[in-house]
Each structure stands twice: as structure tokens, then as C-alpha cells.
Structure 1
């Protein structure tokens, strides 16, 4: 996922969850604010609605102001993981394009 535009993540060391950072555009930030949300909340809402993949916005975990993250817990076998990553990647690229 570190190769995906607008997304970065530290390699997990012993945890079953990760906190990818969304480098949201100003357009995404403004769209979220119109809905009374932060950009990471909008991303998470859109992700579950479009793919069924549930992640929690970083705003729930006290992230630094002006940054956007989400918490992803990984509890899938290899086959299901590959399918989920494929759906997520397609969603992510479309979301980033929508808010360019």
C-alpha cells in the first residue's frame, strides 16, 4: 500500500492492526467538512459503503490535528486478504481521483 498514491503506512511489528495515513487533498477535506466529518471519517464511510470493508477513522484514536488515518485490523486468510486488497485498491484509486 505504500506504493499507492495518497497512502502510507509503517510496517507493523507484532500487531494485528495497522494505521495507514491518508494524504487527503484539500478537496476531500472540504467535502468531508460539508458533511460535518473529518477526511478520514469520509474515507472510512465511503470504503464500507462501496466495498464492505470496515476500518475505523483515526479521529477515534486521537490523531494529530491536520493528519488523517484509519485503523485496519487484519484477520483474514490469504485468499480473502487478496480479494479484500483488490477491492480496497480499486476503491482507493477511485476515491483519490474523485477528490483530486
Structure 2
């Protein structure tokens, strides 16, 4: 059984599409997608008073390559030099059955 983890984040609006294009071709990424949302205190420009639009990002990744994919995402978003958002990696997704 393959162990999976979630890599997620709130990123600057418009970057979600580039992440989907790049990571949907990666065989270690089971699923990648984004939705629109709003965030405050994350970006330099606030479009709606004290909030700005953001992409809510979710990747489901094979655990054995999750650190590599996380680092690749970090570099793709240029988080070291630009305020493009925040990303996180969860623990292994647990499977359970209720009877």
C-alpha cells in the first residue's frame, strides 16, 4: 500500500494554475488542484480592504518523494525571495474503516 501525504498552502492568486501545470505531470503526485479564496496579512497588495485573493492549494503526494516535491514547490513559488504565500506538509494520511 502506498503511503500518501498532503502538501497544501495559501498562495498568491494566479500561481495555482502554474502549479497544476507543473506538478500534474509528476508521477509522484497523485492529485493536484486549487480553489479561490481570500487571505489577509499574507501579500504585499491588499485588493479588498484588509484581504486579498489567494489560491488554496492541495497536492496529494507519495510519501517517499514528499520532501523532494515540497522543495520543488518551494522553489517554483520563489518563496525564499518573494511573498507568494505559505505552504505546509502534513503527516501521512491515515486510512480508517468504520463498521
TM-score in terms of structure 2 length: 0.41
Higher helix share: 1
TM-score in terms of structure 1 length: 0.41
Q: Which has the larger radius of gyration?
A: 2
